[in-house]
Structure 1
Amino acid sequence: MVNKFKDTYKRIGSNVKEYRTKVNLTQSQLAEKCGKMDRSKISDIENAKEDFMFSTLLEIAEGLGVDVEKLTKKVKKAKPANE
């Protein structure tokens, strides 16, 4: 994986995991919904251990029932209450 994109892959992986858990799917169940994908591929994506093609991200978004934009968005950190 190219280091300059590591943060992007981490963000996408985190978003995939967040939406997967929101819809109560295991990694295996999501992989099955994505067709010819296995659980380890989902795990590698969630943990930013593997490069992947955009078509893979589209398949995951479809399996989760979300727009692909939701998987690529930056997570806004909540500001402390005293700010």
Structure 2
Amino acid sequence: MVKIFEKDYKELGQKIKKRRLELKLGQEQLALLTAPKVDRAKISDIENGKEDFHFSTFLRLCKALDIDFIELIKKY
């Protein structure tokens, strides 16, 4: 991960986690809702700001979380 974006990835990961918890989903449940599947371990890394992930992965997570990616960025 590029160091200058580390804080941004952490904040985005926290937003994803917050939305997941609002929906009362576990990481494995969220993984099962993504297509193609995003592994539970990868979701954990994303939520903890440890993963430099592709935009397509972010879009799949947003779809599974039933939230527009712009809304997720703005709302939280």
TM-score after normalising by structure 1: 0.83
| Structure 2: runs of 5+ lacking an equivalent | none
1:1-83 to 2 correspondences below 5 Å: 1-35=1-35, 36-73=37-74, 75=76
**Structure number, greater radius of gyration:** 1
Structure 1, residues 6-62: CA drift from partner, whole Å, max 9, x if none? 111011000000000000100001011012211001000000111000010000000
Distance verdict in 2 for CA 1:6–1:73, change over 3 Å: farther
Q: Secondary structure at the match of 1:56?
A: helix
Which structure carries more helix by proportion?
2
Q: Alignment length, in residue pairs?
A: 75
| Structure 1: runs of 5+ lacking an equivalent | 76-83
1:78 matched to which residue of 2?
Answer: none
Contact 1:11 1:74 in 2 (8 A): no
Per-residue deviation, 1:74: 7.6
Superposed structure 1 runs of 4+ greater than 4 Å apart: none
CA distance in 1 between counterparts of 2:51 and 2:57 reads 12
CA distance in 2 between counterparts of 1:7 and 1:74 reads 18
Task: Let me know the Cα RMSD of the aligned residues.
Answer: 1.4
Per-residue deviation, 1:71: 3.1
